[in-house]
Chains A and B, each alone.
Chain A
Amino acid sequence: MTGRAPSGRVFALHAAVILGLLILNFVLPEYHRGVFSRVLVLAAFAMGYNILFGYTGLLSLGHAMFFAAGLYGAGLPVYHLDWSVAPAFIAGIVSGAVLALAIGFLALRTTGVAFMIVTLMFAQVFYLITLFFTTYTRGEEGLVIRQDLRHLRMGDLDLALTDPSLRYLIALVLFSAVLIVTLFIVRSPFGRSLVAIRENEERMRMLGYNVFTNKLAAVVLSGAFCAASGAAYALLFGYVGSGFASIQYSILPLLWVLLGGAATTLGPLIGTLFMFYIVDFTSGFMPAYLLVVGAALILLILFFPKGILGSIRERWAPWLP
């Protein structure tokens, strides 16, 4: 950490990013607006992952389970019980947070490599459970939530979540909320103690901090963000399937955060956006998008371990949060 960041510049930057994204809604062609809606929702997933991986220094290989907990927590009640959108969204976040509390309580007893494998194993259990209860989840094939169920009703207001512009704006609201909360956390004493735990856990313990409680709070917060992203994904795009709980969706947020820059507030957005367009671009002349993912992972970890924003912060803008 290089001293206290100048607040004005930081707030101006984040406000400008959100404003810019708002303007894009009216400028972007239809196809790209669809891509951006998805990217904004998934960037919230990546930001949730970043809280744990970037700031707290805990590499989880199982975050797909939190995303999927939100996805199913919101999707299943809508599909089977005809819940309306708002309570379903909250149910999604709550399921993710509760799951994160339980998993964090167990997994945080381990460190390093064991933590990665334990989270991987728990996520695999979650994935297998979604396959096991295939009567309700329809496994890999998944559920498609009917369009008429995806309406947000408040008083006389009736908003169809299937409308592209509204969908983009709601995705932007979710993204901005997570971004602002992240920024707030990062600048708070709590956020600074997370970074301190990442840098030197023993020392923090010696200074009298409760390391376990702080880490657990980070896991729950991270799980809740990822679940919010999953819940929004289910409600906005109307599809809920086991694929989102598979290992691949635990790896993707790691890739996005690494690419954009771990422990930067805007890195996850940049990483998600870049990766989406790299895959989009390459799939034009070769079908092998996993090859791109694999190569990107290796090249990043070899030559760019700090990611895009991390490198910019190191060279030119040490004030970036």
Chain B
Amino acid sequence: MAFGPYLLLATLEGLVMAAVLALTALGLSLVFGVMRVVNVAHGEFFMLGAVLAWWVSSLVSGNPAIGFLLALIVSPLIVGAVALVSERLVLRRLDYKPEATIVATIGLLYIIQQLVLTFYGPEARPVVAPFDFRIRLPWFGYSSYKLAVIAASILLVLATWFVLTRTKIGLVMRATQYDGEIAQAFGVPVDRVYAGVFALGAMLAAVAAVLIVPIQQAHYLMGLDPLLLSFIVVIIGGLGSLRGTVVAAVLIGLSDGIISVFFSPTLAKIIATSFVALVLVFRPQGLFGAETR
């Protein structure tokens, strides 16, 4: 294969990764933006989404599309419920203090991981894609499902954007993000907004995981990479800025896809991680974020 098509392949792979990353990071960014909580268990919500997708689709026999669609609905709902319960039982009682919530979500991370290991096991298991004909490009065939993942992610990001900027729910969320106390004074049920946002953030991660699981198998340790990458994306995009998060996800997904094709993936991670640490040190508002208040 010549260099051009090779680069195209790397770009497509990078875009698939960016699509999943954008959704996962959006969830993390939303939770941080509105609640000022750094959710270290976010990667485990992703992993839980993938594992539940396998479980749901294994219950349904017949056409794989039915099982997949069912998983796409059921898995985020369960993950959202788990997030909601942990928010009510733990985070709320900690008054959302940043340090305490980090410690608590680390605890949550270990609990979810260990429970999945106990009940699901250490194997990696695939979910059959709902459809998988190959689209013939002049140089190579490409999976139609991967293109569908990109399209689905774009739709979901647009939907999230619409909800945040054009609906009452979004208005309430933005008001809480801007100033929780004032919002409370104006009758916004801040407490319920927090619960909803935390569940929504986890559900976004779960949807991303269901989308990726036909490409990458479900495994109990799969949560760490999305967590670190989401951190990277959210930080580069500016903590709590949605537009920045999406732009950064595309940037990181693409560059990670392309660098990993041409160089060692470990080296790519080393470079990306140190770059992010330095961005956070020298430009804490992120590359695209505005100055914080």
Contact = CB atoms under 8 A, between A and B. Distances in A.
Give the interface SS of chain B, mostly helix, strand, loop or mixed.
helix
Contacts of B90: 298, 302
Interface in B226-278: 228, 231, 235, 264, 266-267, 269-270, 273-274, 276-278
A251 B269 CA distance: 21
Interface in A110-137: 110, 112-114, 116-118, 120-122, 124-125, 128-129, 131-132
Interface stretch (B59-67, B74-82, B104-112, B141-149): B104-112
Contacts of A117: 38, 231, 235, 280
Could you say which interface size class chain A belongs to?
Answer: 35 or more
A121 B104 contact: no
Given A132-B266, A291-B114, A294-B111, A112 B104 contact: no
Contacts of A301: 94, 100, 103-104, 107
B93 A131 contact: no
A128 B269 contact: yes
A121 B280 contact: yes
B182 interface: no
A181 interface: no
Contacts of B111: 290-291, 294-295, 298
A118 B279 CA distance: 9
Give the interface SS of chain A, mostly helix, strand, loop or mixed.
helix
A253 to B, nearest CB: 12
B85 interface: no
Interface in A57-79: 59, 61
Of B94, B107, B235, B273, the most chain A CB neighbours within 10 A belong to B107
Contacts of B228: 124
Contacts of A118: 277, 280-281
A186 interface: no
Given A117-B235, A121-B276, A294 B107 contact: yes
Contact of A288 (B99, B118, B270, B282): B118
A254 interface: yes
Contacts of B107: 293-298, 301
B7 interface: no
Contacts of B267: 132
A116 B98 CA distance: 10
A122 B280 CA distance: 11
A179 to B, nearest CB: 25
B100 A305 contact: yes
B118 to A, nearest CB: 6
B100 A122 contact: no
B177 interface: no
B221 to A, nearest CB: 11
Contact of B113 (A132, A258, A290): A290
A107 interface: yes
Given A298-B108, A301-B107, A128 B270 contact: yes
Contacts of A129: 270
B104 A302 contact: yes
Contacts of A290: 110-111, 113-114
B235 A297 contact: no
A258 B100 CA distance: 11
Given A125-B270, A301-B107, A291 B282 contact: no
Nearest to A57: B99
Interface in A224-274: 247, 251, 254, 258
Given A116-B102, A132-B267, A125 B110 contact: no
B266 A302 contact: no
A16 interface: no
A106 interface: yes
B273 A121 contact: yes
Contacts of A80: none
B117 interface: yes
B63 to A, nearest CB: 37
Nearest to A134: B266
Contacts of B282: 109
A290 B228 CA distance: 20
Contacts of B106: 251, 294, 297
A134 B50 CA distance: 31
B196 interface: no
Interface in A279-302: 288, 290-291, 293-298, 300-302
A293 B103 contact: no
Given A110-B281, A297-B106, 18 more contacts: A61-B102, A116-B102, A118-B277, A124-B228, A125-B277, A132-B264, A258-B103, A288-B117, A290-B114, A291-B111, A291-B115, A294-B106, A294-B109, A295-B107, A298-B90, A298-B108, A301-B103, A305-B100
Interface of A: 59, 61, 106-107, 109-110, 112-114, 116-118, 120-122, 124-125, 128-129, 131-132, 247, 251, 254, 258, 288, 290-291, 293-298, 300-302, 305
15 contacts: A113-B102, A114-B284, A117-B38, A121-B277, A125-B273, A125-B274, A125-B277, A132-B267, A247-B224, A251-B106, A288-B115, A290-B110, A291-B111, A294-B107, A305-B100
Lowest 7 A-B CB distances belong to which pairs?
Answer: A294-B110, A297-B107, A294-B111, A298-B107, A121-B277, A291-B114, A294-B107
